[in-house]
Amino acid sequence: MMPSIFEDRSLELLLFDFDGTLIDSKVDIATSVNLTLRDLGLPERTPDEIFGFVGDGVKRLLRLSVGEENLAQYEEALRIFRLHYLTHCLDTTRFYPGIGAVLQHFHPVHKAVVTNKSLEYTLKIVEGLQVTELFTAIESPEDSSELKPDPGMLLRALDKVGVSPDRAIMVGDSTNDVRAAKAANMKVCAVGYGYGHREKVMALDPDYYCEKPEDLIDALGVNPFSHRSDANSP
């Protein structure tokens, strides 16, 4: 058996994507998008359509939801969506089952949220779930150029915590997360329970793959820098 990360302290920082990795927020996002479209007099979208738009930030979410033929209403859609989402972002949004145990298991390790979600929404949800104290850093893009797969947010989190990339792991459900981690020269664990496309994620060869949140304890509970697990196994 490989040594525990707590024996040699190799792992110092876990970076987590937010939507689709820590939290299941898709219903509240879809509700807020459709309330926005209704207010604008535009056709509503099916939840599955909206789920497919999640992952690249609120601007792309609203641009795709409004549709290319209605982009004149895009700026107004952003304004209206903000009001609806701040009202509804905690209606059903919760940690995925098993995530609480994962965060507790790794309590000696620094943890950060690194998300394409706007900071305003991220902080409201983190505070509403009463878990602010669990995270050493919470990073959202300062501008559109910092959206993952750009590694800027990851590097900023590393800097804030004072950890080098070889002492950190990114955990996320999307190709953006895998690409960002590789660009930041850190290990990455992909998860299969979120919103990402499994085949596209696995094609990028993540260092680890977990089908369920609780699998993270076994996958990362050993020293992840002394071996490479079979990322293609469930």
pLDDT digits (tens, 9 = 90+) for 113-151: 999 999 999 999 999 999 999 999 999 999 888 999 999
Q: What architecture is the 26-88 domain classified under in CATH?
A: Orthogonal Bundle (1.10)
CA distances from 36 to 53, 67, 73, 74, 84 (A): 15, 13, 11, 11, 7
Joined together, the tokens standing for residue 146 give 């910092």
Instruction: List b or e across 10-49, with b for residues whose CB sees 16 or more CB atoms inside 10 angstroms.
Output: bbbbbbbbbbbbbbbbbebbbbbbbbbbeebebeebeeee
pTM (predicted TM-score): 0.87
pLDDT at 107: 87
Of 141, 154, 129, 132, the closest CA to residue 15 belongs to 154
Query: Does position 4 have pLDDT exceeding 50, yes or no?
Result: no
Joined together, the tokens standing for residue 47 give 């939840």
Which residue spans within 22-101 are E strands per DSSP? 23-24, 94-95
CA distance 161 to 147: 20
Query: Does position 42 have pLDDT exceeding 70, yes or no?
Result: yes
CA distance 190 to 206: 6
The answer to whether 190 and 208 are in contact (CB under 8 A) is yes
Query: Does position 228 have pLDDT exceeding 60, yes or no?
Result: no
56 is catalytic: no
Mean pLDDT of 175-186: 97
CA distance 67 to 50: 12
Which residue type is seen at 17? Answer: D
Query: Does position 3 have pLDDT exceeding 50, yes or no?
Result: no
pLDDT at 221: 67
Mean pLDDT of 35-44: 96
Output 105 or 41, whichever has higher pLDDT. Answer: 41
Of 117, 46, 112, 123, the closest CA to residue 81 belongs to 117
Residue of 8, 17, 207, 230 with catalytic role = 17
pLDDT at 139: 97
Phi, psi torsion values for 65, nearest 5 degrees: -65, -40
Return the domain boundaries, the chain.
5-24+95-220, 26-88
Any idea which fold 5-24+95-220 has?
A: Rossmann fold (3.40.50)
Confidence of residue 178 (pLDDT cuts 50, 70, 90): very high
| Eight-class DSSP state of 49 | H
